[in-house]
Amino acid sequence: MDKTQFPFAAIVGQEKMKKALLLNLINPRIGGLLIKGEKGTAKSTIVRAAAQLLPELNVIELPLGATEDKVVGTLDIEQAIKKGEKKFEAGILAKADNNILYVDEVNLLEDHIVDILLDVAAMGVNTVEREGISYSHPSRFILIGTMNPEEGDLRPQLLDRFGLTLDVIGESDVESRIEIMKRRLAFEADPEQLINDYAEEQNKLTRIILKAREKLADITCPENLYELIAKLSVNVGVDGHRADIIILKTAITLACYYQKNEVSDSDIYEAAELVLPHRLHRLPFDEKELSADKLREMIYNINNTLALN
């Protein structure tokens, strides 16, 4: 992968998106991130820039129109029959193992490729079967998808597989927009210089990720916060238990990111804002999202209820 990319630390604004990516780098078990937004909001730039923070991490792109063989890999049947040897040619899912699997315009993926992604994301293993011969390999990746909602919706089955989701819009602050232009032109004129200018901040972010990873196994979560998560999921009406588990994982990761020793209710709120909106039931033609203010109100009310018990 070309490591001469626009540096993550030089990106102006989009703080929520940047933090959501950092959380996935700290704890890939969160389950990835879906970024929804209009064109020109630096979605792809930020995803590719995030990989620069960990030297061993690469962005493996799954292009639209990729064939099944290109995605899952191929088996040489003739070699297997004649010599009894399994000759496997790695596909995208093999290359994505322990990396970021990036799908731009993920909502436009063909259905059968979506089905493959669902299976592998759930199992962490890719299995290729041809003519009664099978080959399996690990495929655990951070699934990052970007999409423009104006171009169509994402299948509910795949939508639920993304641990976190958020909507992004262009910066409305004039000074921020000016700074975006300046940094972009500076990068185009002399990429190495801009990379050097932000090297210290990049290294600081890398240290934050590595330090947070070290704390993951030691973070505690008070019992009352388990109840808060459960009541929150029940009150918003999500299906199943995946939301509860991902809120907990994300809250633990946030506590690590903030270098705390235990999860607090503020971590639960911040996690829920990323985990719940894409899991809510909507009536036809109802495009309303769960607003941050509404979510904060719900958590406040649940906290009061718990305090009274």
For β-strands 88-89 and 74-75, DSSP reports them as antiparallel
β-partners of residue 236 are none
With bands split at pLDDT 50, 70 and 90, how would you rate the model's confidence at 42?
confident
**Model pLDDT, residue 39:** 76
Across 26-39, average pLDDT: 87
Query: Which residues participate in catalysis according to the annotation?
Result: 242
Residue 283 has pLDDT above 50, yes or no: no
Across 43-55, average pLDDT: 88
| Residue 12 token pair | 């102006």
Task: List the end-to-end C-alpha distance of the chain, in Å, as a whole number.
Answer: 55
**Model pLDDT, residue 109:** 83
**Model pLDDT, residue 255:** 94
Q: Which amino acid is at 273?
A: E
Mark which of 168, 185, 200 sits at the end of a domain.
168
**pLDDT digits 0-9 by tens, 1-11:** 455 788 998 98
**Residue 137 shares a structural domain with residue 66:** yes
**Residue 110 shares a structural domain with residue 234:** no
Q: Vertex 47, ends 249 and 89: CA angle to 5°? A: 90
Which residue would you say has higher pLDDT here, 26 or 36? 26
Q: How far apart are CA 42 and CA 276, in angstroms?
A: 24
Q: How far apart are CA 243 and CA 265, in angstroms?
A: 16
Q: Tell me if 180 is assigned to some domain.
A: no
CATH code, 120: 3.40.50.300
**pLDDT digits 0-9 by tens, 195-207:** 999 999 999 999 9
Residue 295 has pLDDT above 70, yes or no: no
With bands split at pLDDT 50, 70 and 90, how would you rate the model's confidence at 293?
low
Nearest CA among 236, 274, 305 for reference residue 34: 274
φ and ψ of 133, to 5 deg: -110, 135
Q: Tell me if 1 is assigned to some domain.
A: no
Across 82-100, average pLDDT: 78
**Model pLDDT, residue 72:** 82
**Residue 152 shares a structural domain with residue 14:** yes
Which residue would you say has higher pLDDT here, 78 or 95? 95
| Residue 55 token pair | 């030297």
Q: Tell me if 163 is assigned to some domain.
A: yes
Across 101-115, average pLDDT: 85
Residue 61 has pLDDT above 60, yes or no: yes
CATH code, 251: 1.10.8.80
Q: Tell me if 267 is assigned to some domain.
A: yes
**Residue 112 shares a structural domain with residue 234:** no
pTM beyond 0.85, yes or no: no
Residue 305 has pLDDT above 70, yes or no: no
Q: How far apart are CA 248 and CA 267, in angstroms?
A: 9
**Model pLDDT, residue 209:** 95
Q: Tell me if 100 is assigned to some domain.
A: yes
**Model pLDDT, residue 240:** 77
**Model pLDDT, residue 306:** 57
**Residue 160 shares a structural domain with residue 284:** no
Across 13-33, average pLDDT: 91
Residue 290 has pLDDT above 60, yes or no: no
Residue 153 has pLDDT above 50, yes or no: yes
Out of 82-86, 115-119, 302-306, give the one with best mean pLDDT: 115-119
Mean pLDDT of the chain: 82
**Residue 159 shares a structural domain with residue 23:** yes
Percentage of residues in the chain with pLDDT exceeding 90?
A: 29
**Model pLDDT, residue 197:** 93
**Residue 224 shares a structural domain with residue 164:** no
Q: Which amino acid is at 167?
A: D
**Residue 54 shares a structural domain with residue 141:** yes
Q: Tell me if 293 is assigned to some domain.
A: yes
User: What size, in residues, is the chain?
Assistant: 309
**Residue 135 shares a structural domain with residue 230:** no
With bands split at pLDDT 50, 70 and 90, how would you rate the model's confidence at 279?
confident
**Residue 161 shares a structural domain with residue 229:** no
**Model pLDDT, residue 68:** 81
**Residue 290 shares a structural domain with residue 141:** no
The answer to whether 247 touches 206, Cβ cutoff 8 Å, is: no
**Model pLDDT, residue 13:** 83
Q: How far apart are CA 248 and CA 216, in angstroms?
A: 12
**Residue 143 shares a structural domain with residue 240:** no
Domain count within the chain: 2
| Residue 254 token pair | 């946030």
**pLDDT digits 0-9 by tens, 186-197:** 998 999 999 999
Q: Tell me if 147 is assigned to some domain.
A: yes
Per the structure, the complete domain to which residue 276 belongs is given by 219-308
For β-strands 133-138 and 142-147, DSSP reports them as unpaired
Q: Tell me if 243 is assigned to some domain.
A: yes
Mark which of 148, 168, 188 sits at the end of a domain.
168
| Residue 124 token pair | 């962490």
Mark which of 168, 185, 207 sits at the end of a domain.
168
